[in-house]
Every structure is written in structure tokens, then in C-alpha cells.
């Protein structure tokens, strides 16, 4: 493997095998870090030879979808171990992603500081510019406040990322998520995430973003389809609580309140500080008359965000996230939950 890596000039190698028995075929694959010999990912795929091309497409999509988050996590760990004096823009970006995954206000601040160091080295580095808005969006979702100047900076950098990162799918989907959630620019976000999916049709995070943006535009069925695809591509994704949250919102938009509760619970199981999921669950429980669960959700929301008010939430985010009809339905649900006006 080390020789293969050296000759190809790569760090990671995907190897596999094919075995055939009658009309059945089994394809196995494993991703190897050639520097350490560690197996980062392995899986197998079974199918029939009736349509070998369909099976080939299925395996390709599954492999790419599964490898992407594993490879990113491996690179994050590599950058975290690297000496600080030898860090470049990419390493600062990876270290920032590691901080984002801690989901605290101090880690958010540390992540943004690292991203700004990356931009100081390379001002046109689109992933770092886009990740600032993504970082603030994530922390907003788990209850940390995002100020107006922070939103303005995030939106500016997201627009910059779309301009300079036209061929980088990660920069595009992160910028799209930031523009949709922090500025309500759904048209630009849709264009950006569609381009990301053209560049990498097997990006689970891009499909997740596509689902969220569709939900914000009351396109519930389209949102659910996109989010289901994200979950199929990366069923164990470290950010799958965001996938679950999108499914909850999509069901809320469709007025399928029981489904919204189920998906919100899945998101909260993965990320107990997921304030957005508590709000979606509170709205759905209110409309179904589940009074005990409503009270528990309201208490959790106020524990995560002691200064939460319905009017403050509406002004800060909700007017961007929902259509007028869906916004009115959400506000009614939050009022029924007894949250402060």
C-alpha cells in the first residue's frame, strides 16, 4: 500500500474485490490510510448481475457517500496532531471543523479564529470563508446567540465563497446553508447547492442542505426526498442530527405533526442541545394537544436559551426560515406551549 500511495501521490487508497456465485455478486471495499496502514472504512455490497450497470452505480454512490465523512474525520484527526508551526490554510480549516463538532460557544469562537487564520494565509480559500457561516448556523441551532454583526459577516463571506469556490462542493453547500438560514436568500442558496450536487452528486451534506432549503420554501415532499437520500448516503454521519432536524422541519411544514415529533426526537437523541429540534417538537406537540410533552419542550428551550422570546426568535431567524403560513402555525404552537411572547 505504501508503494501504491507513493507511486500515485496519494495518502488514502480504496481497495476492493469482487466475488461471483451464479447470478449473485459481492463487492467489498476498504479505505486505507497508507501512512499508518489503518483501515478507516470497510463495507460490502451484494446484488444481482441482471443489471450490472445499475449495481455499479449503486456501489459507486454508496462508496463515495460513506467515505466522504470518514475521510474528512481522518483528515481532521491528522491536522489536530500536526505541529502548529507547520500548519497551512487547509490544516487550520480542518482544526476548525474539529472545534465546530464540540458544539459549545467557546469551541465556536475557537473555530472561527482558526478559520480566520486560514483566510489570512489564503484570502480566496472558499471552504474557510463558507465554514464561518456554517459554524454560526450550527451554534445558533444548539442555542448560542448569533449577533447581527456576526450574521452580516457570515453572509458576506458566504457570498464570497460562492464566487471564489465555484468548483468546490463543500464550500458551496456550506455557503448555501448559511445564506438560507441567516439571510433568507433561498434563490442563491438553491443555485449554490444545485451546483454542489452537480460537482458531487454523492455528497450527503449537500443533499441535507438541499432538503433544508426546500423545507424553508414549503416544498415538504422535495425536502424529505433530499434528506432521505442524505441519510442513505451517510447513515452514520457525525452531523446526522442536522439531517434529522431537517426531516422534522419538513414534516412540520407538511403539517404531519406526529412525524415531526419522531424526527425531532431522533435529532435530540444525537444532540441533546438541539434547540431547533425542541422548538419543532414543541410546535408539533401543541397542535396535537400533547400537553405534558409541550411543557417538557418549553422547559428545555428556556434552559438552553434563558432569554428566548417568540418575538425575538421571529425577528432573528423565523422570518427567513418559513413561509408566512408556516411561520403563523409555528408561532401559534409556541404560544400554546406557554413560551414568553
Residue 84: the pLDDT is 52
CA pair distance 16, 284, nearest whole angstrom? 46
User: Are β-strands 24-33 and 38-48 bridged in parallel, bridged antiparallel, or unpaired?
Assistant: antiparallel
Please give the residue that has the higher pLDDT: either 324 or 69. 324
Helix (H, G, I), strand (E, B) or coil at 18: strand
What are the φ/ψ torsions at residue 240 (nearest 5 degrees)? Answer: -70, -15
pLDDT digits (tens, 9 = 90+) for 31-65: 888 888 888 788 888 888 887 888 888 788 777 77
Superfamily of segment(s) 2-66:
TolB, N-terminal domain (3.40.50.10070)
In the predicted structure, residue 257 carries a pLDDT above the cut 60? yes
pLDDT digits (tens, 9 = 90+) for 123-148: 999 999 999 999 988 888 887 778 88
Q: How far apart are the first and last CA of the chain?
A: 62
CA pair distance 276, 245, nearest whole angstrom? 8
Q: How many CB atoms lie within 10 A of CB 1?
A: 13
Residue 34 exposed, middle or buried by CB count within 10 Å (0-12, 13-18, 19+): middle
CA pair distance 44, 24, nearest whole angstrom? 13
Q: Domain coordinates of the chain in residue numbers?
A: 2-66, 82-201, 238-341
Residue 264: the pLDDT is 97
Please name the residue that has the C-alpha cell 437523541: 269
Residue 274: the pLDDT is 93
In the predicted structure, residue 86 carries a pLDDT above the cut 60? no
pLDDT digits (tens, 9 = 90+) for 199-253: 999 899 999 999 999 999 999 999 999 999 999 888 888 889 999 999 999 999 9
The class of domain 238-341 in CATH terms is: mainly alpha
CA pair distance 66, 74, nearest whole angstrom? 13
Residue 128 exposed, middle or buried by CB count within 10 Å (0-12, 13-18, 19+): buried
- Helical spans, DSSP H, in 184-256: 186-199, 204-216, 220-233, 240-253
pTM over 0.75: yes
Please name the residue that has the C-alpha cell 394537544: 289
Q: Do domains 82-201 and 238-341 have the same CATH topology?
A: yes
141 contacts 278 by C-beta, under 8 angstroms = no
Residue 85 pLDDT class (50, 70, 90 cuts):
low
CB burial of 284-318 (b: ≥16 within 10 Å; e: otherwise) equals bbbbeebeebbebbbebbeebbeebebeebbebbb
* Bridge partners, residue 31, by sequence: 14, 41
| Average pLDDT for 170-185 | 94
CATH of domain 82-201: 1.25.40.10
Residue 68: the pLDDT is 78
Residue 79: the pLDDT is 66
CA pair distance 75, 116, nearest whole angstrom? 19
Residue 129: the pLDDT is 95
In the predicted structure, residue 315 carries a pLDDT above the cut 90? no
Amino acid at each position: 500500500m505504501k508503494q501504491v500511495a507513493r507511486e500515485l501521490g496519494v495518502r488514502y487508497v480504496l481497495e476492493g474485490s469482487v466475488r461471483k456465485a451464479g447470478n449473485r455478486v459481492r463487492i467489498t471495499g476498504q479505505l486505507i490510510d497508507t501512512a499508518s496502514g489503518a483501515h478507516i472504512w470497510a463495507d460490502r455490497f451484494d446484488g444481482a448481475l441482471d443489471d450490472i450497470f445499475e449495481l455499479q452505480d449503486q456501489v459507486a454512490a454508496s462508496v463515495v457517500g460513506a467515505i466522504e465523512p470518514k475521510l474528512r474525520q481522518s483528515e481532521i484527526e491528522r491536522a489536530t496532531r500536526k505541529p502548529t508551526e507547520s500548519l497551512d490554510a487547509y490544516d487550520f480549516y480542518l482544526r476548525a471543523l474539529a472545534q465546530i463538532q464540540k458544539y459549545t460557544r467557546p469551541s465556536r469562537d475557537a473555530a472561527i479564529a482558526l478559520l480566520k487564520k486560514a483566510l489570512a494565509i489564503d484570502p480566496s480559500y472558499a471552504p474557510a470563508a463558507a465554514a464561518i457561516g456554517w459554524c454560526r448556523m450550527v451554534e445558533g441551532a444548539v442555542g448560542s446567540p448569533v449577533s447581527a454583526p456576526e450574521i452580516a459577516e457570515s453572509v458576506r463571506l458566504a457570498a464570497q465563497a460562492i464566487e471564489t469556490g465555484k468548483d468546490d462542493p463543500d464550500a458551496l453547500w456550506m455557503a448555501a446553508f448559511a445564506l438560507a438560514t441567516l439571510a433568507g436568500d433561498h434563490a442563491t442558496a438553491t443555485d449554490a447547492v444545485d451546483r454542489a450536487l452537480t460537482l458531487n452528486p454523492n455528497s450527503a451534506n449537500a443533499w441535507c442542505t438541499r432538503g433544508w432549503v426546500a423545507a424553508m420554501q414549503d416544498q415538504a415532499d422535495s425536502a424529505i426526498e433530499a434528506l432521505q437520500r442524505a441519510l442513505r448516503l451517510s447513515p452514520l454521519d457525525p452531523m446526522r442530527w442536522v439531517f434529522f432536524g431537517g426531516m422534522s422541519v419538513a414534516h412540520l411544514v407538511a403539517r404531519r405533526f406526529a412525524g415531526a415529533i419522531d424526527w425531532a426526537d431522533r435529532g435530540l437523541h444525537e444532540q441533546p442541545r438541539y434547540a431547533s429540534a425542541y422548538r419543532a417538537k414543541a410546535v408539533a406537540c401543541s397542535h396535537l394537544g400533547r400537553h405534558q410533552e409541550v411543557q417538557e419542550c418549553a422547559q428545555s428551550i428556556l434552559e438552553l436559551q434563558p432569554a428566548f422570546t417568540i418575538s425575538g426568535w421571529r425577528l432573528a431567524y423565523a422570518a427567513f426560515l418559513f413561509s408566512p403560513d408556516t411561520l403563523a402555525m409555528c408561532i401559534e404552537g409556541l404560544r400554546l406551549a406557554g413560551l414568553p411572547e
